[in-house]
Structure 1
Amino acid sequence: MKLLLWLWSQLRSCGNNLPALGIALTVFALLFDFLKRRKSWSRYPPGPTSLPFIGTMLQIDFHNPHLSFTQLSKKYGNVFSLQNCWRNLIVVNGFKAVKEALVQKSEDFADRPYFPIYEHLGFGENSEGVVFARYSRTWKEQRRFALSTLRNFGMGKKSLEQRVTKEAGFLCSAICSEKGCPFDPHFLINNAVSNVICSLIYGERFDYDNKKFQRLLHLFEQALNEETGFLSQSLRCVLSYARVLLHSANDSTFQSENMNYHYLPVCSSLPSKNLRSNHTLFCSLQAKEHAGSSFNDNNLCMVTFDLFSAGTETTSTTLRWALLYMLLHPDIQSGPGRGRAGGFFPGKVHEEIDKVIGRDRSPQMEDLVNMPYTNAVIHEIQRYGDIAPVGVPHMTYRDTELQGFFIPKGMTVIFNLSSVLKDEMVWEKPHQFYPEHFLDADGQFVKREAFLPFSAGRRACLGEQLARMELFLFFTSLLQHFTFHLPEGQARPREVGHFAVTLAPHPYQIQAVPR
């Protein structure tokens, strides 16, 4: 501190001597940077050397941050520190460390970093929805409301299963209309999965050629892919959300026909009976609360958009990986499976579907228990596809410890979920597509504790139950009706993904042959 005061006095004495002033300013900035970043905590996690002003960002591959984190963990351990310019970060890798933080010390790591961009969008500190909200009474209220909304509109009930099954039928019909020609399944899958959450939130599904619906999906897709790479993970997801909200709010196609619903610019032009009843419930809760209640129009907008985006992107991306893996591993569609002990058993997906479901009736969730191989394949798609490799950043709610290191309150923490799903200490073949990870020697399905595609703890994905249902019903319906081939003459699709908010497959084409 004395040195800083001395430097400040030297700066003042430089007066109009510009060269001396420049040198003094440089020295002052470098010293201030060093003192600011000096670790005052005796057990703070280690990390790579930080450069002035830019921190350790040169250590990160912006297009594959999860791979960079895994590499850095080999040198600095499973809990290490980084610096993004002036901001300190902690990265947690590996199943044991992630489990300790998210499960055993869930509340300690339950907070979220503050996202200033909300203020620019007109949303206050008390209007953050669910996904990006700070850990507080507001978040608890909104999460309870979101879960009750999903339950009220069918989650966990037979009625929702029937909606998914019906939508799977529409998807299969749309694929049939391709008449065996090569096509990119991206937007057909996106449309089908989006329609499930639309049926919950808006009260109805939309035809795949509905122009307003297509506009919404294209805006969402554009926002997710506008920027690739890491770009400070603490801002990436919320920036993508912001683009959709801003684009759609400024697009006349999405202006409300009834201005009473102007606070839902993303979906205001879409018919919505259940949304209105949802709004009525929200307003009734708002009326009962005090002036600082979290039940306000901005939160209704954010919660609705949280549900829509969370209910669309990850599930549709997983299904796109599913079809890609069926192309790359045709033996899993129609070939024999192998148990961990080496014994063969009838494990091909087509054979299991024909045996349990047949060709005439639609799949049902009760079939899942009798389809261990198909269940294992779906789980391996989620594990190997690694859809959300670094998730959404967390922040420590209070001072805590992790793996013997001190983590102070208010520290941004990134969980490298990819390092859990491909932990070499847990999985037999972590870097191969191997459904037998989820089968015992007798070919029966086994749960794996390190299977965390939905994260864990208080911030686990609130749509996990819905996603599991959709993945099983959509996947089995598609494989029940089609055999998927790589179109003749086309190069083998890339197995590596493209990282934006999620890790998605690069565009590819398939040929669907009716069975």
Structure 2
Amino acid sequence: MLLLGLLLLLPLLAATHLLWGRWMLRSLHLPPLVPGFLHLLQPNLPIYLLGLTQKLGPVYRLRLGLQEVVVLNSKSTIEEAMIKKWVDFAGRPHTPSYKLVSLDDQDLAVGDYSPLWKAHKKLTRSALLLGIRSSMESLVQEQTQEFCERMRAQAGNPVEIHKEFSLLTCTIICYLTFGDKEDSLVHSFHDCIQNLLSTWEHWSIQILDIVPFLRFFPNPSLWRLKRAVERRDQIVKEQLRRHKESLMTDQCRDMTHYMLQGMRKQNVEEGPGGQLLEGHVHMAMVDLFIGGTETTATTLSWAVAFLLHHPEIQKRLQEELDRELGPSASDSRVQYKDRARLPLLNATIAEVLRLRSSVPLALPHRTTRPSSILGYDIPEGMIVIPNLLGANLDETLWERPHEFWPERFLQPGAQPSALTFGCGARVCLGEPLARLEVFLVLTQLLRAFTLLPPAGALPSLQPKPHCGTSLQVPPFQVLLQPRHAGAPRLGESQ
């Protein structure tokens, strides 16, 4: 009887919420409103949202269930909000799913804007750019070399390349964050993060953010998410315990040591009003894994998929690498500074990032105070979605925007930079590491192997439909044919 009463009450609550919202905003000059409220059912949401600009312009509103949001679909509007008026748009929505995955609201990625959040960001950024800067490249080089050796052992057999990239990036993050690359830890954390992400992105969890009172109803996915978060926190807390036991002043073996020391120093400098807690270090580590494993692995997988479709570009890349770095991948380690000598490789990476932003709609922002975009009023507390993929496919900025054409970045004249990692105060902190990994892995992979489709079966270049916040590549396999002299050819005994 109680359940029936709740079900009958839902339409009334929804209607009251909608009418009250309209009444409060009646005097504002708001962006145009898209009819309907089932937009999340679209199979490729970023492209669907971009298509709406043809009638409504680059800024409009739409309803996602009971929630009204503003969508920004052009580079200029995103930069106006996130750079020129960044304080106005630096907040995060207070959603049920964010509270579930954040430890006591101490998360950096989904945490709301505040002085404490700024201190948290400062600590994490310094750990990435200062704490491990001297060792970051050598660690990535080492893991990439080991990765290529494992792939050489599988020459002749189809490889599920995305899975391999995912384990590689997880190993790199484990090494940088914990100073540990033991297989047991890597696989344990990798499986935990994979489980957490797949559960978090399930529609039965996402719907809680647009119809929050549904969290009071039985939801098996919600239980699975809570268990995944508990498992995640167990692993991180164990690492924190070990690092605190071995913590020595002025000695930083990895990012966790650096952040623990930096937290103490920063708390002294900031005073009582900006005290960071161990939970902030805990969640910074979680963010590094969530933001630094699957996203980079997905970018690398898209790069391989595009090169399988464009063997002529792959051949030109290998010629460039052989000419500038030498024909043998085992002679010397690639240096990140070598990227200045590899314009086609840089252009190819830029084109992959433009076409396949791993998080095409970023994470939603929330206005911290009344503001405006393109002359439209944006009230305080409004959720704002920057359609990064839409901006990267804007026909007014890009020639042949849907085509894989790296040469666009080699043409005379300045090309616009793609908005892949966001911009402004909420720009992805892991961008330097991601760019380093993508460059070094692709360089070593293309020096060592020729990428071939097994039995001529090319992978799909269409993202998986209904893939939540990420632009996931459909599963595919690749044959890795060793290039250098003396290596066994495909089909030959080893």
TM-score if structure 1 supplies the norm length? 0.79
Identity percentage over the alignment? 30
Measure, in 2, the Cα distance between the counterparts of 1:418 and 1:409: 25
Equivalent residue number for residue 389 of structure 2? 418
Question: Contact conserved, 1:356 with 1:371, CA < 8 A, in 2?
Answer: yes
Give the corresponding residue for 1:37. 22
- How many Å apart are 1:130 and its aligned residue? 1.4
Equivalence for 2:198: 225
How far the C-alpha of 1:313 sits from its partner, in A, is 2.1
Residues 507 and 276 of structure 1, relative CA distance in 2, 3 Å threshold = same
The residue type paired with residue 29 of structure 2 is R
**Gap regions ≥5 residues in structure 2:** 1-6, 212-220, 245-252, 484-494
Summarize the alignment of residues 235-384 of structure 1 with structure 2, pairs less than 5 Å apart: 246-247=227-228, 249-250=230-231, 254=235, 260=241, 275-276=256-257, 278-286=259-267, 293-334=274-315, 348-358=316-326, 359=328, 360-384=331-355
Show CA shifts across 1:457-480 (max 9, x none): 111111111111111111111001
Q: Residue 83 of structure 1: CA displacement?
A: 2.1
User: CA-to-partner distance for each residue in 1:295-344, whole Å, 9 max, x for gaps?
Assistant: 1122221111112222222211101111111111111111xxxxxxxxxx
* DSSP 3-state at the match of 2:455: coil
Asked whether the equivalents of residues 110 and 459 of structure 1 are also in contact (C-alpha less than 8 Å), the reply is: yes
The answer to whether the 8 A contact 1:79-1:91 is kept is yes
- The alpha-carbon distance between structure 1 residues 105 and 414, as it changes in their structure 2 partners (threshold 3 A), is same
Q: Name the CA distance, whole Å, in 2 between partners of 1:252 and 1:121.
A: 10
Equivalence for 1:405 = 376
Of residues 105, 109, 115, the one that matches 2:85 is 105
- Structure 2 counterpart of 1:90, from 70, 74, 80: 70
Q: Which residue of 1 aligns with 2:472?
A: 504
Contact 1:234 1:393 survives alignment (8 Å): no
| 1:260 to partner: Cα distance | 3.8
Confirm or deny that 1:65 pairs with 2:49. Answer: no
Q: Is residue 433 from structure 1 mapped to residue 425 from structure 2 by the alignment?
A: no
Q: Whole-Å Cα distance in 1 between the matches of residues 52 and 365 of structure 2?
A: 20
* Correspondence for 2:459 among 493, 496, 504: 493
CA distance in 2, matches of 1:296, 1:428: 49
Instruction: Give the match for residue 148 of structure 2.
Output: 172
Letter in 1 for 2:461: E
More helix per residue: 2
CA contact (8 A) 2:92 2:365 kept: yes
Alignment match of 2:59 (pick from 79, 85, 110): 79
Displacement after TM superposition at 1:25 (Å): 11
Q: What secondary structure sits across from 1:109 in the alignment?
A: coil
**8 Å Cα contact 2:91-2:112 kept in structure 1:** yes
Task: For 2:310, give the aligned amino acid.
Answer: H
Deviation, structure 1 residue 167: 1.1
Q: Name the larger-Rg structure.
A: 1
Partner amino acid for 1:69? L
User: For residues 306 and 237 of structure 2, what CA distance do their matches in structure 1 show?
Assistant: 41
Q: Distance in 2 between matches of 1:32 and 1:311?
A: 38
Q: Distance in 2 between matches of 1:191 and 1:255?
A: 18
2:463 matched to 1:477? Answer: no
Matched residue type, 1:138 = L
| Change beyond 3 A, Cα 1:448–1:108 | farther
Contact 1:483 1:513 in 2 (8 A): yes
Deviations 1:164-208 (A, max 9, x none): 1111101101111112211101222112222222222112333xx
The amino acid of 1:225's aligned partner reads S
CA RMSD between the two structures: 3.3
Q: Residues of 1 paired with 2:231 and 2:223: CA distance? A: 12
CA distance in 1, matches of 2:415, 2:222: 32
Give the deviation of 1:495 after TM superposition: 0.6
Question: Match for 2:297: what amino acid?
Answer: S
Deviations 1:276-295 (A, max 9, x none): 45434424544676555441
Would you say 1:216 and 2:174 are equivalent positions?
no
Deviation at 1:224, TM superposition (A): 2.4
| C-alpha separation in 2, matches of 1:258 and 1:486 | 41
Deviations 1:353-408 (A, max 9, x none): 00111122222112111111111011111111222110000111221111110001
Q: Residue 364 of structure 2 corresponds to which residue in structure 1? A: 393
- Mind listing any 5+ residue stretches in structure 1 that lack a counterpart? 1-21, 50-55, 264-271, 335-347
Mapped to 2, the partners of 1:167 and 1:467 lie a distance apart of 14
Rate the CA distance shift 1:302–1:242 in 2: closer, same or farther, 3 A: farther
Taking the aligned partners of 1:302 and 1:24, their CA distance within structure 2 comes to: 38
Q: Describe the shift of the 1:33–1:319 C-alpha distance in structure 2 as closer, same or farther (beyond 3 A).
A: closer
Q: Conserved in 1, the CA contact under 8 Å of 2:71 and 2:387?
A: yes
Taking a change above 3 Å as real, the CA distance of residues 32 and 376 of structure 1, as seen in their structure-2 partners, is closer
Distance 2:98 2:264 in 1: 22
Q: Distance in 1 between matches of 2:230 and 2:97?
A: 16
Q: Per-residue displacement from partner, 1:33-82 (whole Å, max 9, x unpaired)?
A: 43433441331111123xxxxxx322343442212211222222211111
Letter in 1 for 2:320: E
Question: What is the total number of aligned residue pairs between the two structures?
Answer: 453
SS for the counterpart of 1:43 is: coil
Query: Would the aligned equivalents of 1:216 and 1:248 in 2 still touch at CA under 8 Å?
Result: no
What is residue 18 of structure 1 aligned with on the other side? none
**Is the CA contact (8 Å cut-off) linking 2:40 and 2:64 kept in structure 1?**
no
**Matching residue of 1:449:** 416
1:164–1:470: 8 Å Cα contact kept in structure 2?
yes
Tell me the distance in 2 between the aligned counterparts of 1:222 and 1:23: 35
Write the distance in 2 (CA, Å) between the matches of 1:429 and 1:439: 15
The answer to whether the 8 A contact 2:108-2:283 is kept is yes
Alignment-derived partner of residue 267 in structure 1 = none
Distance 1:397 1:455 in 2: 18
1:122-142 deviations in Å (ceiling 9; x for gaps): 843xx4221111111011100
Q: Report the counterpart of residue 458 of structure 1 in structure 2.
A: 425
- Equivalent in the alignment of 2:487: none
Q: TM-score, normalised by structure 2?
A: 0.83
